[in-house]
Amino acid sequence: MSMTTVAALTGAVFLTFTPIYEEDEVPYYTLPDPLVTEAGEPVDSPEMWREVRRPETFALFEEHVYGEWLPDPEYMRFDVVDDEPEALDGKATRRQVVIHFTEEDERPSIELLLYLPNDVEGPVPMFLHLSFWGNQAIHEDPEIRLSERWMRGHGEGVEDNRATEASRGASPQPVEAILERGYGLASFYYGDVALDDADRYREDALSLFQDIDEERGPTDAGAIGAWAWGLSRALDYLETDEDADHERTAVIGHSRLGKTALWAGAGDERFAITISNNSGCGGAALSRRRFGERVSRINDSFPHWFCHNFREYNEREDALPVDQHQLVALMAPRAVYVASATEDEWADPRGEFLAAYHAGPVYELFGESPLPVDEMPEPTQPAHGTVGYHIRDGGHSLAPEDWEQYLDFADTYFGR
């Protein structure tokens, strides 16, 4: 077994954890069959999947992993605060929209940034991206509104955000490349919906549905549930924007936000494509492999992400009634893409590939193409069916090479 030791800070207590990084140390496991119901009946038709197996699979993830899917807000309003048709030297229309959930314009609210290509007749297909930083980190465009929200490790307020690596250019997305391919990009900061902090994550969206002065119930949603809820609200806005094609929208997230994208795609069937980039444990990686990060480690380090019931499976992954191939399968028959990186062992690239592979029978049930390989491909050898997968050289990031594959995949799926 690898002797690498990872230290995590949870509150003021350091916890040590020795991950598995060798395949011969992965324990024997069996996976739940995605096409056998809880009653033991085989699923032999798309109708049976839609009416029986899909609802019960989704309910198992709600009960044991992510918590109950949050309802639509009682109040919502879209305020377009910027609409510039000659942004980026005339290449794009920049639109900035505040999504309000209270009549008094108090928090929570989402600041949604859009770039739409000017040389493509709309409505254009969209990528909806969830960001780790304020919108100013997406592009160096000086007219992007500066977030005043607290950001993990960087304080709160516009001056803090301007002065740190969470400022413009910290984690830019290839906006021009996306526009040149005829797509629009919409993005917002995940902290608009729930702060990524175990003490403060319930201050915003979750306060609309939970009594935040009380302990969360065992199946109450945590931060991932809130972030996924925010993605659905952004899609609500896209349904109203005549320049955006909400029926051809891909939701994309990296790392913990890749977990979020998968849960959003599972819970909101309006998303045409779901993209998970390096999402690892609690995302695309199979929990039963126990490779790299595992259930006990993620629950200890980030107790606010999942529902409390998920903690019951610390060191007991085989007792989980579901595994992550079933989460990938919940996208069927819509398109789904899982991506890994060679140096990102913590996220278990092989476990991510296997989840995409073992979702295949559900796609075949619909006559859709599963992952078209049965062995993990080499870097630079993407595998694209209705289920897509690639692994690239490098570490834990959302890289331009990843975006190239996502754009190619969307071109194929949308028939462009």
Strand locations in 102-179, DSSP E?
109-117, 124-131
Cα 143 to Cα 81, 117, 139, 177: the distances in Å are 12, 17, 10, 20
147 is catalytic: no
Contact call for residues 386 and 369 (beta carbons, < 8 A):
yes
Given 255, 276, 287, 340, the catalytic residue: 255
Of 68, 61, 49, the residue nearest 320 (C-alpha): 61
For residue 93, the cross-strand partners are: 116
Strand locations in 278-361, DSSP E?
335-341
Given 207, 308, 396, 397, the catalytic residue: 396
- Which residue has 């011969």 as its token pair? 24
User: DSSP states of 77-146 as a string?
Assistant: EEEEEEEEEEHHHHTEEEEEEEEESSTT-PSSEEEEEEEEETTS-SSEEEEEEEESS-GGGT---TTSPP
Tokens representing 116 are 């739409």
Cα 164 to Cα 9, 73, 168, 190: the distances in Å are 22, 34, 9, 18
276 is catalytic: no
The amino acid present at 379, given as its one-letter code, is P
Of 100, 120, 118, the residue nearest 110 (C-alpha): 100
User: Catalytic residue numbers?
Assistant: 255, 396
